[in-house]
Amino acid sequence: RRHELIEQAQSSLADGGAGEAVLDDLLALLSDDEAEVRRGALVFAEEFGQLVPAVLPRLLPALRAMLGDSSAPVVKRCLLTCGGLLRPALSLVAAGGEALSGEQQALAACLSGLRSDAVEMPSSSALKDPVRTQAVKFCEALILACTPEPPSGEGSGVAGGGTTGGSTSLSEHRIPSLAIFGGETAEACARETLRRLTALLVDPPSPTVLCVAASSLALSIGRARPTTLPSVVQALTSCQARLLPDPADGVARIAIPAAGLANVQQALKSAMLTLARQLHTLPPAALAADDPAVSATGAEAAVAAAAAVAGKDRVERMLFASLVASGATNQLQLLLRQMGREMPRADELRAGSASDSGVVDAHDGPKRPREAGGPSGVAKRQQGGGGLQQSSAVDDILRRLAPEIVAELVIATMPQLPPPPPPPAEANTA
């Protein structure tokens, strides 16, 4: 029966009236007594909604109602289907311009309610992890669909919300400015959803949800939308600091069972190493909400550009300090060497560790200048002599690998690396 419906849906492209008939059959399947039938109908609902977006004003309310289904697998599949239909539904509303029809207004209200329901699910104690983690992925799709795409060449090209990349239609360009989420624009709603997602890292309902949220923030949202990186890095480093906090810091520890602590630490290290690689490839302006070259001219542009450089520098130092604190010093050194950079000095890492407010301090700026007469990073590597020359072939191979592959390689070799050196004597005295 599902195959019949798919064939009818494909033919509805040529005959607009066929779509409504197929939708009636689909809505009946979505309310079937058997959970497996409802779940199968949800798989087809995503295909059908993307194929014939005109049915979304009737289809989406039925999907929202299924978030309260008695079957957890059905709810999980419903969240996946809704995530895949977000962008087509938002584009349908955006196509109406300023004056929305009654049908578009109803669809906008349904989208607002769907978002309100779904963002509460990742932290709900009444749900199990399979549903909560899928709700995290829905939030990811919402953020990607409602946030402007970066200029060409910035970010990884990861698409979200039911697209696979490529050209963006005029309606999709209008999505961020849509005021359909309780009077908020879609972009403002995405920022609030991102805040809710990052909050899961410091107050997670389970280790599994924490790991999925960290992966979603680092590997999908941060990579596809570089302007979110300061918030993403702040959340990851705050989570790391709360896993095993120093009692003297007065920071509340995240309640993670001992059996799941190692998995959480590995997930955080992998996410932070991937972001360290990405940050290296991005221009400072990519992390700013407004491109300083566009929003200002002359002296103002120079000041804005300097602030962008300082902002990226602060984010990198915060990330490096957290990696060192997590015991990933050797992995960080490997990545930096592969990128042709040197390890930051201890005082720079301490400054990065202290930057935990999420706001660039007025006195924060570029890294401190090297002491007079001190060798540069290139000179230090040259002074290293044969050791670094012997590893040039390895470096050449690493440069050809994708960032996520490098991060996985580093994590996989962690057990084979020597333990970190003991702290200097002056640190022990302190």
pLDDT band at 374 (very low <50, low <70, confident <90, very high): very low
Q: Report which of residues 162 and 413 the model is more confident about.
A: 413
Give the best-scoring range by mean pLDDT among 223-232, 368-377, 414-423: 223-232
pLDDT band at 415 (very low <50, low <70, confident <90, very high): low
Distance CA 154, CA 181 (A): 28
Q: Is the pLDDT of residue 257 over 70?
A: yes
User: What pLDDT sits at residue 164?
Assistant: 38
- The vertex-27 CA angle with 23 and 29, nearest 5°, equals 115
Cross-strand bridge partners of residue 2: none
Contact 88, 49 (CB under 8 A): yes
Q: Is the pLDDT of residue 79 over 50?
A: yes
Give me the mean pLDDT over the 232-244 stretch. Answer: 91
Percent of the chain with pLDDT over 70: 69
Rg (alpha carbons) of the chain, rounded to whole number: 25
Tokens of 375: 């060798």
Q: Report which of residues 135 and 24 the model is more confident about.
A: 135
pLDDT band at 103 (very low <50, low <70, confident <90, very high): confident
Tokens of 377: 């990073």
Q: Is the pLDDT of residue 295 over 80?
A: no
User: What pLDDT sits at residue 366?
Assistant: 37
Q: Is the pLDDT of residue 286 over 80?
A: yes
User: 292-309: string of b/e by CB count within 10 Å (b at 16+)?
Assistant: beeeeeeeeeeebbebbb
User: What pLDDT sits at residue 135?
Assistant: 97
- Average pLDDT value over all residues in the chain: 78
Q: Report which of residues 195 and 246 the model is more confident about.
A: 195
Q: Is the pLDDT of residue 95 over 70?
A: yes
Tokens of 80: 């996946």
Contact 366, 309 (CB under 8 A): yes
Max CA separation in the chain (angstroms) = 80
User: What pLDDT sits at residue 117?
Assistant: 94
pLDDT band at 300 (very low <50, low <70, confident <90, very high): confident
Percent of the chain with pLDDT over 90: 38
User: What pLDDT sits at residue 159?
Assistant: 45
Give me the mean pLDDT over the 281-286 stretch. Answer: 88
User: What pLDDT sits at residue 249?
Assistant: 73
Alpha-carbon torsion angle 232, 283, 393, 274, nearest 10:
10
Q: Is the pLDDT of residue 111 over 80?
A: yes
User: What pLDDT sits at residue 342?
Assistant: 87
pLDDT band at 412 (very low <50, low <70, confident <90, very high): low
pLDDT band at 6 (very low <50, low <70, confident <90, very high): low
Give me the mean pLDDT over the 287-313 stretch. Answer: 71
DSSP string of 24-74, one letter each residue:
HHHHHHHT-SSHHHHHHHHHHHHHHHHH-GGGHHHHHHHHHHGGG-S-HHH
User: What pLDDT sits at residue 228?
Assistant: 92
Q: Is the pLDDT of residue 308 over 80?
A: yes
Q: Is the pLDDT of residue 375 over 50?
A: no
pLDDT band at 56 (very low <50, low <70, confident <90, very high): very high
User: What pLDDT sits at residue 408?
Assistant: 66
